[in-house]
Structure 1
Amino acid sequence: MPLHALKARPSAPVPALLVLEDGRTFRGESFGAKGETFGEAVFSTGMSGYQETLTDPSYHRQVVVMTAPHVGNTGMNDEDPESRQIWVAGYVVRDPSRVSSNWRAQRTLDDELAEQGVVGISGIDTRALTRHLRERGAMRVGISTLETDPEKLLAKVTASAEMSGANLSEAVSTPQSYVVPAIGTKRFTVAALDLGIKEMTPQRMAERGIEVHVLPATASIEDVLAVAPDGLFFSNGPGDPAATVGQVELLREALERGLPYFGICFGNQLFGRALGFGTFKLKYGHRGINQPVMDRTTRKVEVTAHNHGFAVDAPLDRDTETPYGLVSVSHVCLNDDVVEGLELRDPEGRLKSFSVQYHPEAAAGPHDAAYLFDRFSELMASSQAGTPAAPATTTTEEQA
């Protein structure tokens, strides 16, 4: 059979049961591996990019509900994964594709989930489930092909771990450091702390002449300084930022040394904590590839990719004095005014460090925020020269 038309495994439907923490129950059919799984139920609004979602380490210990009704149309391949494995704890879809039709497809989504032991459920009303989570908030959930009694499965759900207070970044981080070389002429060296990094992130930096040293989540300030970096980067990742201590202390030590910093997603939350702000859990979070965000430094609105259940508690209407400089909220979500970015400046107004809550690496899409990697390059260049960072400008990539 040609690779562009892979049929799902023919088999008799196996009943599956989904029970939420508040007792809401859905019955469907098994999708992926057989067995039981537990995690935090969240929904993703992306209509494409499911392979990148599945392999995003930020989804560790979460059961992802896809709001798009048809999932699996393009199958799975070996080029698009964002990490070494599927990280979601479970997968919920309404209508899985019976045929994976794409010239790059190498296997079906159902087969890949089964191969990696990911328990899922299909054939349920994902619209009703999503509306329930929007009204009641993200909560624990269980999926089982073994248990048919909702009350018994509910007891297991309420006994499972909660996301609040969970420190998970070390579980998804690289065990050993590695280097992603610059493409073309090397301009800068960056120490990147892997808290659940997506492969496209160092790739975006490498495209701009940055040699990226990816370090484990347990790295010390000595490990960072050992690579003689021009900048420090903290990646996305799973868990509660309030439960993270070591990485916050590392970041504070780097800020004291004046090392330029750029953080994404979890890296934004830890930047906020290092600057003295608190974090809080969102009711149901932002997940998908269609979230509108305003860059307050340029007044441009970007359509962005999100995956976060926590946010930084920083004031939108004023700057904040910190031991490291003056902090302002640089980006804000236009749906709910959640903080989506922070900037740290010196008393003369020069940019020292910044972060965003969303995913400018655009895996999968959109590309509106790719300019932030250029901003990081400009920041490191100005730091080397001892001159103010260049003002925000519209890049060729933005115009495209």
Structure 2
Amino acid sequence: MTMAALVLEDGRVFRGDAFGAVGATLGEVVFCTGMTGYQETLTDPSYHRQIVVATAPQIGNTGWNDEDDESRRIWVAGYVVRDPARVPSNWRSRRPLDAALAEQGVVGISGLDTRSLTRHIRELGAMRGGVFSGDALADPDVLVERVLASPRMAGADLAGEVTTDANYVIPAAGERRFRVAALDLGIKTNTPRMMAARGIETHVLPVDATIDDVLAVEPDGVFLANGPGDPATAEGPVALTRSVLERRIPLFGICFGHQILGRALGRGTYKLRYGHRGINIPVIDVASGRVAITAQNHGFALEGEPGERFDTPFGAARISHYCPNDGCVEGVRALDVPAFSVQYHPEAAAGPHDAAPLFDEFVGLMEDGRGDGSAEKS
């Protein structure tokens, strides 16, 4: 076995064995509480520049297949597991997890105490770190210096690093009912698939798309995707969102897109202590009191209190959802323009399906928009 070490910016070192590629990687160390769905997690662009710690003790049992990627590549900066499966066992598996990591140059570490590491992050907060193995594993003091010299997540403008290079279209499944312009801030594969099942043709646009680019699609609605980084850096998407709201085009945002809508409505955002990452996080709908178990991946949040009503340049709005674990804002709804967003992932790949009906709610907004006199697209 090749020795490896995870080095945190506070100087704490966790030692283990190399897992995946051998070398060095730097990023923000965060933990994910999902017990399954590691392939979807690793290929989620929202994890760009993060070293992900799996809290489930054994990872890799089902190997790696060719169907479940949520984007074109693995995005995590590094991967940390306790007990990797020695032999994958699943009829869909095409290669072991560590082989997939090695093929894509993702440096990981296994065999360390992930429970102790997770408790450390919960107590002190997400922090910068590095995984080092092979020739990169040198004097710990030098490694700490490398970690301290790496960029912080606060202030990181990352959506441009994960977005599409050019527009592309995902057709509706069957008859097309609606056309949606989706801003790719780090969109996952399952999102257009969920919309396609509802008769939506999705036109995916790069992060630097303008309002003219959006209008050229002649959309029935606009979708703001998930993605990585600090929402305070996303001035372009926020400006675009304001232009969409001015034109009263139905709008739906998730995760990073939720933070973009919130900032467009005049709310601030802030960095959470250690974030929400997993597929088992409860959310309460303020209006109904209903609880949904959701998939989440975010380290920033929108300012506000559950049920709070506030004024915006586009009329009134309300904080619609919150997390009972910490009171974090999980949803916002504009009351005078057709727009809403949630902090979680209704496409849930991987994860529970409690929030899937939000896509139906988006369809309802677009149907109402047509009722106001807009012509159906041919």
TM-score, length basis structure 1: 0.92
Question: In the alignment, residue 254 of structure 1 is paired with which amino acid?
Answer: V
Q: Look up the match of 1:15.
A: 3
Q: Look up the match of 1:244.
A: 234
1:133, 1:278 → 2: CA distance? 25
Are 2:338 and 1:352 equivalent residues in the alignment? yes
* Percent of aligned positions that are identical: 63
Q: Look up the match of 2:376.
A: none
2:281, 2:61 → 1: CA distance? 23
Note the residue ranges of structure 1 that are not aligned, 5 or more in a row.
1-12, 388-400
Q: Look up the match of 1:135.
A: 123
For residue 296 of structure 1, report the CA deviation from its aligned partner: 2.0
For residue 314 of structure 1, report the CA deviation from its aligned partner: 2.1
Question: In the alignment, residue 386 of structure 1 is paired with which amino acid?
Answer: D
1:329, 1:386 → 2: CA distance? 26
1:247, 1:353 → 2: CA distance? 15
Q: How does 1:303-314 map to 2 (within 5 A)?
A: 303-314=293-304
2:197, 2:163 → 1: CA distance? 23
- SS of aligned partner of 1:117: coil
Q: How does 1:332-343 map to 2 (within 5 A)?
A: 332-343=322-333
Question: In the alignment, residue 4 of structure 2 is paired with which amino acid?
Answer: A
Q: Look up the match of 2:216.
A: 226
CA RMSD across the alignment: 0.9
Q: Look up the match of 1:369.
A: 355
- SS of aligned partner of 1:297: coil
In the alignment, which of 90, 99, 120 is matched to residue 111 of structure 1?
99
2:285, 2:264 → 1: CA distance? 22
Q: Look up the match of 1:98.
A: 86
Are 2:118 and 1:126 equivalent residues in the alignment? no
Q: Deviations over 1:243-298 (max 9, x none)?
A: 11011001001100111100000000000100000000000000000000012233
Q: How does 1:1-400 map to 2 (within 5 A)?
A: 13-145=1-133, 146-346=136-336, 352-386=338-372
CA contact (8 A) 2:4 2:109 kept: yes
Q: Deviations over 1:119-157 (max 9, x none)?
A: 000000000000000000000001101223211100000
- SS of aligned partner of 2:270: strand
CA contact (8 A) 1:193 1:235 kept: yes
2:278, 2:308 → 1: CA distance? 29
2:187, 2:341 → 1: CA distance? 15
CA contact (8 A) 2:286 2:306 kept: no
1:184, 1:317 → 2: CA distance? 39
Question: In the alignment, residue 31 of structure 1 is paired with which amino acid?
Answer: F
For residue 316 of structure 1, report the CA deviation from its aligned partner: 2.6
- SS of aligned partner of 2:34: coil
- SS of aligned partner of 1:223: helix
For residue 58 of structure 1, report the CA deviation from its aligned partner: 0.2
TM-score, length basis structure 2: 0.97
Question: In the alignment, residue 355 of structure 2 is paired with which amino acid?
Answer: A
Note the residue ranges of structure 2 that are not aligned, 5 or more in a row.
374-378
CA contact (8 A) 2:279 2:352 kept: yes
Moved over 3 A (4+): none
